[in-house]
Amino acid sequence: MQLFYCPEILENSYYLNSEESKHCIKVLRKNEGDLINLIDGSGGFYEVKLTIASQKKVHFEIVKSWKEEARDYKLHIAIAPTKNNDRLEWFLEKATEIGIDEITPIICHHSERKLVKEERLKKIILSATKQSLKAKIPKLNSAISFKEFCAIKQETDCFIAHCELQEKTSFKSIIAKNSLVLIGPEGDFSRQEIELAIANNFTPISLGNSRLRTETAGLIACHTIALNYEKI
């Protein structure tokens, strides 16, 4: 099933933006009277019929609509941007496919990349949302420093995955339905960052016996929760 993204439908505006319209008409060669499927980005699916087939602005009318089945868990991962942009994009793509609600890039002491291309990352997330036939787009927050992020009061169970040799709990044994997981950069969190997180009620966790790349650790956190809570 080919999905188009139309957040405007939530405001009772029944048209596709220019990018989606061009893809619909020029690439897929849809015509007036054809049926296509939309998502609104907030959990809604729609089947619509094209009424005006223009590359600049496709107009449509709703045939039927339905809601995406809600997951039994919520997951927020705060992850340090990787030095190689491709690795962060890979994480966002796969995490979206598996199931995640919110992502925050965090700038840490050992971070080699301080800036992220937010608009490009949003496009990666949107593409993965449509490819995996989901209707709700994960929220991408603006990059923030580790210290500032830890100071934000969280209404969730908070965890930090780090590589220091200290007492940690296996994540799979304490996962919660509403989880926030901190994932550090290449070189790991600094000792001061780990202490700051613990002081702000983040529980140290282990994601397994192997030393993992940043994007791999983030994906394992996603997969561990999905395996535990998703209905199969």
Domains of the chain: 3-67 (2.40.240.20), 74-229 (3.40.1280.10)
Q: Give the model confidence (pLDDT) of 177-225 as tens digits.
A: 999 999 999 989 999 999 999 999 999 999 988 889 999 999 999 999 9
DSSP H helix total and E strand total for the chain: 7, 12
**214-224: buried (b, 16+ CB within 10 Å) or exposed (e) per residue?**
bbbbbbbbbeb
Q: 207, 224 in Cβ contact below 8 A?
A: yes
What pLDDT band is residue 99 in, cutting at 50, 70 and 90?
very high
Compute the distance between CA of residue 29 and CA of residue 24 in angstroms, rounded to an integer.
6
> Are β-strands 44-52 and 35-39 bridged in parallel, bridged antiparallel, or unpaired?
antiparallel
Q: 225, 66 in Cβ contact below 8 A?
A: no
Q: Give the model confidence (pLDDT) of 29-65 as tens digits.
A: 999 999 999 999 999 999 999 999 998 999 999 999 9
CA-closest candidate to residue 14, choices 87, 65, 67: 65
Compute the distance between CA of residue 121 and CA of residue 89 in angstroms, rounded to an integer.
7
Return the pLDDT at 65. 97
Taking only Cα atoms into account, the Rg of the chain, rounded to an integer number of angstroms, comes to 20
What pLDDT band is residue 72 in, cutting at 50, 70 and 90?
confident
Compute the distance between CA of residue 167 and CA of residue 158 in angstroms, rounded to an integer.
16
